Amino acid sequence: MTRSEELYARALKVAPGGVHSPVRAFRSVGGTPVFMTGGQGARLRDVDGREYLDFCMAFGPMILGHGNPAVRESVIEALGRGWSLGTAEPYSLELAEYITSRIPWVENLRFVNSGTEAVMSALRVARAATGRSKILKFEGCYHGHADAMLLRAGSGLADAPLPDSAGLGALAASETIVAPLDDEAALEAVFDHHGKQIACVIIEPLPANYGLLPQRSEFLRRLAQLAQQHGALVIFDEVISGFRVGFQGYAPLAGVTPDLVTYGKIIGGGFPVGAYGGRRDLMQLVAPVGPVYQAGTLSANPVAMCAGLAMLRALSDGSVYAQLEARGAQLEHELESVPGLIVQRKGSVFWLCLAGAAGAARRRGAGNPLLRSPAQYPEGCAQRYVAIYHPLLARGIYLAPSAFEVGFICAAHSSADITGLATAIRAVCGALPA
């Protein structure tokens, strides 16, 4: 028995599925979750002393790699001053100023403790601002686990037997409208029917929770245009794409200025932080100024604020993004000739779509577009991912244990690390049945 197996047996007795977030369990790939003791740079080490090249990167926040010295220093300094004050303090001010001065459409923001909380709060603001209750979201987009968002949400739910969650209030289902991605006609139909009741449209501008589904800018712009025409707000959920595809996230790439934005992951430097922000007039609806109540005992925790600031400072000049783009392009190039593999990529976010025989015909190199909605996924891609998952793990590659989670490249991945991943993928894909 490995040490991971021993710990897993104990964990099963005290926590549902032995984990504290379902995507960490190995239910969809089978076997025992690997218990990690820590990470350094691009590598994780498990309790049995094995090392892995990490491409899960804590599901996104660790854009600089594990144990980044600048972030560590700032955390140690912050700890020395005290780690929870429950008062006004200068650290959240500094981080808020840093962000608002670099992202013009984030005029005001409020820190919370997770992406889920950020989304939940932004929806509340949108409902208060418009006096409407319906929310439009998109199939395959995940926005955290608030009731209203747990419909057709992808990722941890994508390969579960049930598409939704149990325990949702009836209101969640009746007030949330779900539209397909990449489909302007469907969007127009939704607005024709419900336009005057929709408080907001929420979308991951770079949907990255059900594989990776880059959207056409025209689609995102049409969405914003329809929302504006019907008096609905646009919320860009940039929990993954914020500070990841560029410091300002995806909004400038889409050419859309959202009314509200939600952040998580990178913004806290790997500590539990989320934020929602946007137009000042909307954010001024939030307590204590306005009638929208939202609060948090541990919000804007000083250690997390300092970690976030150290991370954002390292990202602001853009050089990290240039390096990440180069590594991403290298990965794509090195995987180009793998039969049946479609690599969906935006910067340092990638998704391996194991399309099998259908893949050859759909390759981007052959002039085919990116996959843009879950309906376009080739049959059997999840099963093929399961088939390569453990062989990759045995070769020391740690990917997210779910076919529909994306991979992340970090600043600590060297060119040789990328080649290591590509070589391992080529080897295990070669062993797959056609």
Stretch that binds ligand PLP, among 11-19, 101-109, 128-136, 142-150 (CB under 6 A): 142-150
264 binds ligand PLP (CB under 6 A): yes
Strands 51-54 and 397-398: parallel
Q: Closest approach of Cβ 230 to ligand PLP, in Å?
A: 24
Among residues 134, 137, 265, 346, the one annotated as catalytic is 265
Q: Which of residues 106-135 bind ligand PLP (CB under 6 A)?
A: 114-116, 119
Count of residues that interact with ligand PLP, criterion CB under 6 A: 15
Q: Residue with the closest Cβ to ligand PLP?
A: 115
Binding mask 36-75 for ligand PLP (x = CB under 6 A): -----------------------x----------------
Neighbours of 220 (CB within 10 A): 22
Q: Tell me if 352 contacts ligand PLP by CB under 6 A.
A: no
Count the residues in the chain: 434
Tokens of 349: 């976010």
Q: Is 240 in the site for ligand PLP (CB under 6 A)?
A: yes
CA distance from start to end of the chain: 34
Task: Please report whether residue 268 would count as binding ligand PLP according to CB under 6 A.
Answer: no
* Under rule CB under 6 A, residue 248 binds ligand PLP: no
In the chain, what's the furthest Cα-to-Cα distance? Answer: 62
Instruction: Supply the minimum distance, in Å, between the C-beta of residue 115 and ligand PLP.
Output: 2
Q: Is 405 exposed, middle or buried (0-12, 13-18, 19+ CB in 10 A)?
A: buried
H/E element, 319: helix 319-335
CB of 60 to ligand PLP, least distance (A): 7
Of 166-174, 237-245, 253-261, 312-320, which part binds ligand PLP (CB under 6 A)?
A: 237-245
Q: Supply the minimum distance, in Å, between the C-beta of residue 185 and ligand PLP.
A: 25
Separation between Cα atoms, residue 330 and residue 418, nearest integer Å: 7
> Nearest CA to 29 among 404, 402, 331, 326?
402
What is the strand order of the sheet 233-237 is part of? Answer: 108-112, 274-278, 260-263, 233-237, 198-203, 134-138, 176-179
Which residues are tagged catalytic? 142, 237, 265
Residues that bind ligand PLP (CB under 6 A): 59, 114-116, 119, 142-144, 204, 209, 237, 239-240, 264, 274
